[in-house]
Amino acid sequence: MQGRSISRGVASGDLLVSSEPISFLSGVDPETGTVVECEHPLEGQSIAGRVLAFPYGKGSTVGSYVIYALKQNGCAPAAIINTEAEPIIAVGAIIAGIPMVDRLPPEFSSLAPGIRVTVNGDTGEVSSD
């Protein structure tokens, strides 16, 4: 599937999908990669090493630094897919070196969570393995 490249690089992982936006500041523990935001659909799940798909980010611009801290702590997602990228998540992915794409076609929503996908941030492509 062809999308728009946001952050360069190529990575694979199991697909973790949220229908809700994510706040990385106070919503994700930078020491463990666990979603801690109360009542979030992914609460209690780890994003570490997975391809994290969610509509867009929310919250403070410090979220970019939290994404960077996740990478430094070995707890970052392998790649990020957004419906529509916004600056907080895009900057975090870029400074952390996490491949990121957005604007995938509607058929992306038919992929089952948990399948292995590869995100090519150089070309904007996402494929299931």
Backbone angles phi, psi at 8, to 5 degrees: -70, 160
* Bridge-based pairing state of the strands 10-17 and 51-54: parallel
Active site residue 60: yes
Residue pair 53/38 in contact by the 8 Å Cβ criterion: no
Among 26, 60, 64, 127, which one carries the catalytic annotation? 60
- Output the CA–CA distances (angstroms, integers) from residue 52 to 36, 90, 96, 125, in the order listed: 15, 13, 15, 15
Residue pair 29/72 in contact by the 8 Å Cβ criterion: no
Alpha helices in 43-106 (DSSP H): 63-72, 87-96
Looking at the annotation, which residues are catalytic? Answer: 60
